Amino acid sequence: MKTRMRRTWATRTAYLGVVSMLVVGLLYPLGAARAYAQLVQLPRIAVLDFENKSGYGGASVARAATDAVASEYQKSGKYEVLARGEVEQQLKDLDLVPPLTKTGFLRLGRALQTESIITGEVNAVTFVGSPKQAQVVITVRVIDIASGEPINGAVATGYSNRRPGYTGDDDTLVQEAIRNAAFEAIRTINNYTIPEATILTTRAGKEVLLNRGIRGGLQPGMEMIVVRRGEEVGRIRITQVSDSDAVGEIIDFGRGIQSEDRARAVYRVPTVQVRAGKVTTEQPRRRGEGNKLLRSLGPILIIGLIAFGVARASSGGNTPVQTVLAEAGADSNFEPFVRISWKTTLFAKSASDTIQWQIYRSDFIGTDGNGNLQPVGVTPGNQNFFIDTTVPRTLSYASLPREGSEDLELEEIDPAPGVAPGRSYTYQIALVYRERIDVEGDQLILFKLSDRVRSGQATVLLPVQLLTPVQRSEDVDPKDVRFSWLATEGANAYRVEVSTDPTFTNRDRTFVSAEILSTAAGGSPVSTERINLETGLLARLGLVGQRVTLYWRVGARNLGDNPGPIPGPGGLRYVWSRPFEFTTQELPPSP
């Protein structure tokens, strides 16, 4: 089977550039802000009028809270907040009156073309301290329209600023406290990562296996809605969690849960109680929390989980690795590559015959006759790493149906494309293994393909080209050195190292600059501020005033990469350039 590149990356980039220039030319008369909004397509959210449960201020306090929350969302720059008039008109057209039911959220969300709706209430307005301060507690909920359930939220308390000798009205203090509470609530919401996962398999209509575990934020007892094409199809509750996967019991089969459905955690918003003027917040408990008997059975549960893992290894369709790392680097010839490595799970270690690891890349999305992704690389089953270079490669891989096969058929890819400098990729790993099954006294051998596990982002970076000080410069003043280089495509952060050690491994003899952030296009000059190496390096080595040969290099990285390039000496994750050397000027001794 052959895969051909119809158009080079450079050609596509040129076409994209021409199209972008035409688009900008057409949109410019409409104003930069409008063009930006059209091109970026921020997520749309609607903020419904809050409810005032405080007993103070009536509708004006609720309106102030609504406007303050909408304003904070707008200022974050992450959302397009729909205008109040548009939301009110849509409610009127749909004959909906808050508070909305789950069906109401779904109808309104579809009409407004938004996935989330913001609701909330003002829980309490009190006055504390001397000088008097207003204290306002608000609850904010982010409602998922597919389920009508909260998927994010916060309870926040805001205080007005202290004003010694203040004689104004209380309403001014309350308004200020509301704004501060809204700021805290939206900051909390934006900092929360909603636990999400993909359904890998279902078992007898009773439980599901998910591709995320503890590192993905999943916890035992967590309830999750299962969504397909924006609509809820069922619900699960997490029962068992490992580092990289989880098992959930189906508590509502709904319209039928399938592989590749998305599961999203239901957020339990804390409750607020006001008793005798005192405000208390209570965190909701998940089912099973606080059970002393279960906690006392910890060792037994651990043994049970190990047995469960072994049992899963014989059932197929499971997670073979705990962690997949994709890390950019450069070889001894300073040619860029990405190293993909992984740590196996109990499932992979207990598989009787591990035959082949298959490595998939985010830009290579072709499928074969069995509906499987085509890999960009393969390695033997006993090897836990793969190097993805810029060179295309020919490979043969095992293509298997989902239920497994008694025969191992190989497909050929000629060629699989290499990586391109300046581009960012994610990877997935899967394992081909052999399973022996006893059937009525006979042994059946099946070849199976495991579940895929995804890596973080890695950006392929060409080492930067150094400019100044030029190679083998002499008589450089160590008290006043400015380093410059040409930016490399795909990088947005740089760091300079200067050392008396040409290998940079002796960290005691190496100066490391602060990180330099730059979005300069590839080939554009970038430079540091002037650096005093006499105080930064030579003084601690006792070399002030002497003629010293120093070596310098620049590391590049993309801040969006996770975990980043392969770590070098000192653990810094950068793709390092070829080093240059220069000699400092010799100064006469102090009189």
Average pLDDT over residues 96-122: 89
User: Which stretch, 183-197, 211-225, 406-420, 542-556, has highest mean pLDDT?
Assistant: 542-556
**Residue 351 pLDDT grade (very low, low, confident, very high; cuts 50, 70, 90):** low
Q: Which helix (H) or strand (E) holds 173?
A: helix 170-191
**Residue 497 pLDDT grade (very low, low, confident, very high; cuts 50, 70, 90):** very high
Mean pLDDT of the chain: 83
> Which residues, at least 6 apart from 300, have a Cβ–Cβ distance to it below 8 Å?
none
Q: State yes or no: pLDDT of 149 exceeds 50.
A: yes
Alpha carbons 108 and 110: distance in angstroms, whole number: 5
Residue 204, pLDDT score: 74
- Three-class SS of residue 503? coil
pTM of this structure: 0.49
Q: State yes or no: pLDDT of 425 exceeds 90.
A: yes
Residue 282, pLDDT score: 62
Average pLDDT over residues 184-203: 87
* C-beta atoms surrounding 161 within 10 Å: 12
pLDDT in tens, 454-467: 999 999 999 999 99
Average pLDDT over residues 541-554: 95
- Closest Cα partner for 112 from 91, 131, 134, 136? 91
More confident residue, 552 or 2: 552
* C-beta atoms surrounding 301 within 10 Å: 14
pLDDT in tens, 204-260: 778 899 988 887 888 888 899 999 887 888 999 998 888 778 899 999 888 889 888
Give the DSSP letter string of 298-326: HHHHHHHHHHHHHHHHTT-S---EEEEEE
Residue 16, pLDDT score: 46
Beta bridge partners of 135: 126, 159
Q: For strand 549-557 and strand 516-517, is the pairing parallel, antiparallel, or unpaired?
A: unpaired
pLDDT in tens, 286-343: 444 433 333 343 444 334 433 444 444 333 346 888 889 999 999 989 999 999 999 8
Q: What angle do CA 68, 73, 75 make, to 5 degrees?
A: 90
User: What six digits make up the tokens of 19?
Assistant: 């199209």
Q: Where are the beta strands (DSSP E) in 171-230?
A: 196-203, 207-210, 223-228
Residue 518, pLDDT score: 93
Alpha carbons 473 and 508: distance in angstroms, whole number: 24
Q: Where are the beta strands (DSSP E) in 160-195?
A: none
Alpha carbons 260 and 527: distance in angstroms, whole number: 47
Q: State yes or no: pLDDT of 24 exceeds 60.
A: no
- Closest Cα partner for 312 from 387, 384, 391, 209? 209
Q: State yes or no: pLDDT of 546 exceeds 70.
A: yes
Residue 315, pLDDT score: 39
Alpha carbons 538 and 532: distance in angstroms, whole number: 10
**20 close to 27: Cβ distance less than 8 angstroms:** no
Alpha carbons 256 and 52: distance in angstroms, whole number: 40
Q: Which helix (H) or strand (E) holds 63?
A: helix 59-75
Residue 289, pLDDT score: 43
Residue 192, pLDDT score: 80
User: What six digits make up the tokens of 499?
Assistant: 């050392």
Average pLDDT over residues 491-496: 96
Alpha carbons 120 and 65: distance in angstroms, whole number: 9
Average pLDDT over residues 505-522: 93
Packing angle of the helix pair 59-75, 170-191 (nearest 10 deg):
40
Residue bearing tokens 């709904």: 254
Q: What angle do CA 138, 143, 146 make, to 5 degrees?
A: 175
* C-beta atoms surrounding 353 within 10 Å: 12
Alpha carbons 435 and 318: distance in angstroms, whole number: 13
Q: State yes or no: pLDDT of 528 exceeds 60.
A: yes
More confident residue, 436 or 533: 533
Residue 547, pLDDT score: 95
Q: State yes or no: pLDDT of 508 exceeds 50.
A: yes
Residue 589, pLDDT score: 64
**Residue 496 pLDDT grade (very low, low, confident, very high; cuts 50, 70, 90):** very high
More confident residue, 254 or 80: 80
Alpha carbons 428 and 518: distance in angstroms, whole number: 30
- Closest Cα partner for 230 from 121, 321, 327, 116? 116
Alpha carbons 75 and 79: distance in angstroms, whole number: 9
More confident residue, 529 or 254: 529
Share of the chain above pLDDT 70, in %: 83
